[in-house]
Amino acid sequence: MRTHFEKKLDLLNRKILTMASRVEEAVELSIRALQEREMSLARQVLKQDEIIDKMEREIEEECIKLTALQQPVATDLRVISAISKVATDLERIGDHAVNIAEMVLEIGEQKLIKPLEDLPKMAEIAISRLHQSLEAFTEMDADKAEKLARQDEEIDKCDEMILRELITLMMKDCNNLEQAVRLIFISRFLERIGDHTTNICEKLIYAATGERKNY
């Protein structure tokens, strides 16, 4: 019975990693669409969202079945609960990738009002932290998760710098207003992706140690 439970738990972990891979790809594509002014990449992100949503529902259902049928002990129950909640965070990160793609489609072929250096850098940090948080989760490495959670300020600072620059551009020329607002939204969506990554770290820490921490 225990071996069967462990196999089911391992399968859930693999499903989470597959979902995470899809989500990472969606974020990468949304930013590439902005960099390359490639609207087909943005539309690809929109199409993938349904797949990510389906993955989240399947993982949640598997978690419920595993809890109901296998009667896990306290530690295992925390892990199953964490997996279900991580799937929700991943689904929301996928939603933010869609939000970015929608902003890209709205900007369309307009000439950009600023060089695109900081937003791709911010996205790179967000994707790297997300990837590392999922590695920590599969390894049940609470120490690594805690270190990652404490790095959230880096993305917050990027968001603040981008906001200041874009507000300055709006004040200089009102023609910059619409695009600047959309770029601000993109920055804010990346910042929220960072927040969800921190959530994943917090859930891992709870699953591994039983301690609830907020960063």
For the stretch 86-124, pLDDT in tens is 999 999 999 999 999 999 999 998 999 998 889 999 999
Confidence of residue 132 (pLDDT cuts 50, 70, 90): very high
Helix and strand element counts for the chain (H, E): 7, 0
Helix, strand, coil distribution of the chain in percent, nearest 5: 85, 0, 15
Indicate whether 181 belongs to any domain: yes
Indicate whether 214 belongs to any domain: no
Indicate whether 215 belongs to any domain: no
CA 163 centroid distance within chain? 21
Q: Return the percentage of the chain with pLDDT > 70, whole number.
A: 99
Residue 134's identity, in one-letter code, is: L
- Which CATH number belongs to the domain containing residue 92 in this structure? 1.20.58.220
Looking at residue 1, what is its pLDDT? 52
**In this structure, what are the phi and psi dihedrals at residue 119, rounded to the nearest 5 degrees?**
-65, -45
- How far apart are the C-alpha atoms of 139 and 162, rounded to whole Å? 35
Is the pLDDT reported for residue 26 higher than 60? yes
- List the domain range (segments joined by +) for residue 121: 2-209
**56-67 mean pLDDT:** 93
Indicate whether 197 belongs to any domain: yes
Indicate whether 36 belongs to any domain: yes
**168-186 mean pLDDT:** 95
- How far apart are the C-alpha atoms of 5 and 3, rounded to whole Å? 5
- How far apart are the C-alpha atoms of 16 and 8, rounded to whole Å? 13
**158-170 mean pLDDT:** 95
- Per the structure, how many domains does the chain have? 1
Tokens standing for residue 172: 């200089």
Q: Residue 161, CB half-sphere, CA atoms under 13 Å: how many? A: 11
Indicate whether 187 belongs to any domain: yes
Indicate whether 184 belongs to any domain: yes
Model-level pTM?
A: 0.93
- How far apart are the C-alpha atoms of 62 and 78, rounded to whole Å? 15
- How far apart are the C-alpha atoms of 5 and 12, rounded to whole Å? 11
Q: Which helix (H) or strand (E) holds 25?
A: helix 2-36
Indicate whether 141 belongs to any domain: yes
